[in-house]
Amino acid sequence: MRFSPLQNDVFLRACMGLATPYTPIWLMRQAGRYLPEYRKTRARAGSFMGLATNTDYATEVTLQPLERYGLDAAILFSDILTVPDAMGLGLSFHLGEGPRFSAPVRDEAAVKALRVPDLEKLRYVFDAVTSIRKALNGKVPLIGFSGSPWTLACYMVEGAGSDDYRLVKTMLYSRPDLMHRMLQVNADAVAAYLNAQIDAGAQAVMIFDSWGGVLADGAFQQFSLAYTARVLAQLKRDHDGAVVPRIVFTKGGAPWLQEMGDLDCQVLGLDWTANLGRARALVGDRKALQGNLDPNVLFAPPAQIEAEAVKVLDSFGAPHQGEGTGATHVFNLGHGISQHTPPEHVQVLVDAVHTHSRRLRTA
């Protein structure tokens, strides 16, 4: 056993469908720009990739939100585009513009040249996982993550963010054979990447299908869901004697909840458009649900934040209690926290979730 024993297993228990004394909470992008201490570290690192590729910096910023708030999990500080970067696409970040690839994948030759990258190129990520796990010292579990094969493909073809996904969808509809080939490579690369994170110490893994929701019905199942399933099929089920829960989050995935219920994972992440009660009725016997507060709620005054947190908890309904497995809830935002969020509002949210969810269990 390389690592200290876990002191707070509430998140992992909820992922496994086991009863917990309260509803665990963590926040997507919880280590981020809304925290002044993060901005200081980033300034020292010089750039976003300078931060993500340096083990000490990545460890430092991952732990920052846990020093402020009683969050129930940590998540590796990294980027969803590390894998295509390691494939040789040349990732860079331009101030105020988001990520960009210098060598986007737009034709047959570029697709056919794609390979699962040498994992040594991603060593900095696995080193960060081990370093963070050690620094956590058993306080809370550590979540590893990757972008989904489809979400990676969006960036790989577009070369940057997009508001219409014209290039990647043109390839999808015109040359589905090329798209399938790219997604196969991506899926196998993501699986190897997540398995290496598990080996390095990640206690749960999450697949971010941030752009699955831009696909048409039918195309989503074929080009996003099928390749998420291909990743899941290759993942290690446990490590060091502990089960490693698998979480799949599809932004805009509410229309396909039923199909996602068949994925071989323990947890489905939902954005704020989903109704947790309805989702529980559809898939709650098969999946724990993670979500789904609108991050913009955190701009409201404390009383409204509390009221909206209570609404989300109540929409899920009565907590699972007692022995055995049942429908469980992991509280989160429906998407990443905004850089403009007042840090003291996060404290209000964490307290509201812990307090009200304990109350629900004694009611």
Q: Which residues bind its own copies (CB under 8 A)?
A: 164-166, 169-170, 172-174, 213, 215-220, 252, 254-255, 272-275, 292-294, 296-297, 299-301, 304, 308, 311, 315, 334, 338, 340
Beta carbon nearer to its own copies, 76 or 279: 279
Q: Kindly report the CA angle at 84 between 245 and 150, in degrees rounded to 5?
A: 60
Query: Of 57, 155, 193, 227, which is the active-site residue?
Result: 155
Residue in 29, 100, 133, 246 annotated catalytic: 29
CB of 166 to its own copies, least distance (A): 6
Q: Which is nearer to its own copies, 83 or 313 (CB)?
A: 313
Min CB(312)–its own copies separation in Å: 9
Is the separation of the CB atoms in 357 and 328 below 8 Å?
Answer: no
9 residue type, one letter? D
Extended strands (E) in 238-312: 238-239, 242-243, 246-250, 267-269, 288-293
For the bound state, the minimum distance from the C-beta of residue 357 to its own copies, rounded and expressed in Å, comes to 18
CA 134/CA 149 separation, integer angstroms:
30
Active site (annotated) includes residue 155: yes
Q: C-alpha 301: how far from its chain's center?
A: 27
Do residues 168 and 157 touch, judged by C-beta distance below 8 A?
A: yes
CA angle 95, 101, 104 (to 5 degrees): 150
- Whether 34 is catalytic is no
Cβ 126 to its own copies shortest distance, Å: 33
Which residue, 42 or 169, is less far from its own copies as judged by CB?
169
CA-closest candidate to residue 267, choices 312, 197, 325: 325
Considering 13, 42, 100, 133, which one is annotated as catalytic?
Answer: 42
Told to judge if 57 belongs to the known catalytic residues of this protein, a careful annotator would answer: no
CB-wise, 153 or 205, nearer to its own copies?
A: 153
CB of 79 to its own copies, least distance (A): 19
Q: 123 with 196: CB under 8 angstroms? A: no
CB of 156 to its own copies, least distance (A): 17
Residues 112, 180: Cα–Cα separation, whole Å: 11
Angstrom distance (rounded) from CA 14 to CA 29:
20
The smaller minimum CB distance to its own copies, of residues 50 and 255, is found at: 255
79: annotated active-site residue = yes
Q: Tell me how far, at minimum, the Cβ of 273 lies from its own copies, in Å.
A: 5
Q: Which is nearer to its own copies, 5 or 218 (CB)?
A: 218
| The two structure tokens encoding residue 193 | 């990447």
Q: How far apart are CA 20 and CA 262, in angstroms?
A: 25
Distance (Å, rounded) from C-alpha 71 to C-alpha 351? 10
d(CA 315, CA 120): 45
**Does the annotation mark 175 as catalytic?**
no
Q: Which residue is catalytic, options 79, 85, 209, 271?
A: 79
CB environment 41-75: b (16+ within 10 A), e (fewer): bbeebeebbebbbbbebbbbbbbbbbeebebbbbb
Name the residue nearer to its own copies (CB basis): 125 or 171: 171
What residues are annotated to the active site?
29, 33, 42, 79, 155
